[in-house]
């Protein structure tokens, strides 16, 4: 009997080379695995940041806009002198209120995606949309800080009772009355 020769292609690795190639694939996979702790930390940070953003935009921003519109804007409009001063206040109030709605609408469009991130689920949160919301709010806050709030301080500051009434209204909004007394 003659030994049966097996046909081997010239480019086919030997069994020993196959073990060596396997090690290369395993090591490549383990190098990727070594990045997992950093990525895990990033994923935890992303979930926490998304949860904080939900609280901020669902509660703090919404409440802030409501306080401005229901208390501050009304107080300044009522206290403004009739004529050019009141007209200026109304133009600013209308613009700021419209910006509130735009910011809130932008948030509504991306909220579900942020909620997915907070839950650690795959999401399609667009960087451009986030950037636009942040930039819109920055511009809005700058307008309030630069134009409206100094005007409000001037108008309400002319009459201590008007400023006190605004302070009381804000205090009452934040006062937590036990439900047993309601």
For 38-70, what is each residue's pLDDT tens digit? 889 999 999 999 999 999 999 999 999 999 999
- Domain assignment present for residue 7? The answer is no
What single DSSP character describes residue 120? T
Q: Per-residue confidence at 19, pLDDT binned at 50, 70, 90?
A: confident
pLDDT at 177: 56
Asked if 72 contacts 153 with a C-beta cutoff of 8 angstroms, the reply is no
- Domain assignment present for residue 182? The answer is no
Domain that holds residue 50: 26-174
- Domain assignment present for residue 35? The answer is yes
- Domain assignment present for residue 5? The answer is no
Distance (Å, whole) CA 124 – CA 181: 46
Specify the CATH number for the domain of residue 107: 1.20.120
pLDDT at 5: 47
Q: Which pLDDT tens digit goes with each residue over 110-129? A: 999 999 999 999 999 999 99
| 163 CB-side CA count, 13 A | 11
- Domain assignment present for residue 18? The answer is no
- Domain assignment present for residue 21? The answer is no
The pTM score is 0.78
Q: How many domains in the chain?
A: 1
Distance (Å, whole) CA 122 – CA 117: 7
DSSP 14-52: PHHHHHHHHHHHHHHHHHHHTTHHHHHHHHHHHHHHHHH
Longest dimension (CA), the chain: 118
Which three-class secondary structure state does DSSP give residue 92?
Answer: helix
- Domain assignment present for residue 181? The answer is no
Task: Take residue 173 and report the two structure tokens written for it.
Answer: 């909004």
Q: Per-residue confidence at 182, pLDDT binned at 50, 70, 90?
A: low
- The phi and psi torsions of 25 (rounded to 5 degrees) equal -65, -40
- Domain assignment present for residue 180? The answer is no
Nearest one of 113, 108, 124 to 50, comparing CA atoms? 113
CB atoms within 10 A of CB 155: 21
More confident residue, 164 or 143: 143
């Amino acid at each position: 009997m003659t030994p049966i020769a097996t046909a081997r292609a010239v480019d086919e690795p030997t069994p020993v080379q196959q073990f060596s190639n396997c090690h290369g694939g395993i090591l490549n996979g383990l190098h990727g695995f070594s990045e997992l702790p950093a990525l895990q930390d990033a994923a935890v940070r992303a979930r926490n940041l998304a949860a904080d953003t939900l609280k901020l935009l669902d509660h703090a921003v919404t409440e802030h806009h409501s306080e401005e519109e229901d208390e501050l804007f009304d107080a300044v409009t009522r206290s403004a002198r009739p004529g050019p001063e009141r007209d200026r206040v109304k133009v600013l109030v209308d613009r700021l209120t419209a910006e509130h709605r735009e910011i809130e609408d932008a948030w509504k469009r991306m909220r579900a995606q942020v909620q997915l991130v907070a839950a650690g689920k795959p999401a399609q949160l667009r960087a451009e949309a986030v950037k636009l919301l942040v930039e819109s709010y920055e511009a809005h806050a700058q307008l309030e800080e630069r134009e409206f709030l100094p005007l409000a301080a001037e108008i309400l500051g002319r009459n201590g009772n008007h400023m006190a009434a605004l302070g009381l209204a804000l205090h009452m909004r934040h006062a937590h009355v036990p439900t047993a007394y309601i």
